[in-house]
Amino acid sequence: MFNGKPLLVAGSLLLFSVTGAAAQTFSSDKTEFQLETVAQNLEHPWSLAFLPDGTMLVTEREGRLRRIENGNLVREPVKGLPELVASGQGGLLDVVLHPQFANNQTLFLSYAHRNSDGMTTRVARATYNGEALENVEVIFEALPRSRNGRHFAGRMVFDQNGHLYMAVGDRGEMDRAQDNRDDAGGVHRISTNGDAIADNPFIGDSRTNNTFYTYGNRNIQGMTLHPDTGEVWSHEHGPRGGDEINIIRAGNDYGWPKVTYGIDYSGIPISDKTTMAGVTDPLHYWDPSIAPSGMAFYTGDLFPQWQGDLFVGALRSQKLVRLTLNDEEVVEEEDLLTNLGERIRDVRMGPDGALWLLTDSRQGKVYRVVPAK
């Protein structure tokens, strides 16, 4: 249980301590819950990972990897990060653990990188020794590079076969999402060494890079595995309107910018179509935009009322969205934390049965969502 007492999870002793003021209580249609502040004063935290020993790793977009140990934020960042740049929407982005992390201490980082040719999204593999990264190796680099600082995407997830799915945004140059000799605007499926998977859908197609798994994706900011089917679910930012939830399936074209429910930021239409033959329609969309970021299915025991629900953070709308599903159909949508006044950057299902949130600000927080007392 919580309240400063040890919590045994998967054979590891997890210790949490709540910082700051008393936990805040909020209401959902199904239950009441509280937010416990586990860490604060993080600079634009972007991603959260749970280690087997109870440590948590948090990326700060400004270029730091931080540790939370025994419920306390360690002052000194993890050393040995790859060379990266924090510029525009880019910086240190996602952190995910190797499926066999307990045995090999290997993790993966996505981040923005700059050289004389411009900026891009990279993935590096490294060994974590508890205080620093060792054996850092770049295993994926999206090419060509671009001069602008938008739409790096960067979300990653491992599937049940140990394949790494890596999202690359269109870099703010929308037509790149339909050019598959260009790594922008899609999901890439690679091995832990960075190689294309042998049965990727475009292997042998000279018009498409071998690592592509899907294309026509604008700027994916959330990826997670469905707890029953094992399929990769994602969401992505639309322009003004047209944020989408999709199921990532081999070879699919998700339509950007040929079809969209949104319009350009200038107010000019991008397309007069919201669907067309050969394009995969979104499972769900938002118009106006909520700017979704981070997503997780709830699979814990603390909230039996939420079992199987999908939770999505929102930056622009500053809320947490709960979606109830019937197979691949959204049958209920509820907005939570609308009065919190925080941009929700990441949403994670914790090994302790709690839902975990990161807030996006210069004084970002790590929240633990638990039942109201």
* Residues that are catalytic: 151
Whole-angstrom CA distances from 329 to 199, 260, 284, 310 are 29, 19, 8, 12
Distance CA 55, CA 68 (A): 6
- Separation of alpha carbons 260 and 20, rounded Å: 43
Place of tokens 């094992």: 230
Burial per residue of 6-29, b for 16 or more beta-carbon CB atoms within 10 angstroms, e otherwise:
ebeeeeeebebebeeeebeebebe
Enclosing H/E stretch for 8:
strand 7-9
Strands 32-42 and 364-371: antiparallel
Plot region of 14 (φ>0 → left; ψ -120 to 50 → alpha; else → beta): beta
Q: What are phi and psi of 77, to 5 degrees?
A: -65, 160
The answer to whether the CB of 284 falls within 8 A of the CB of 310 is no
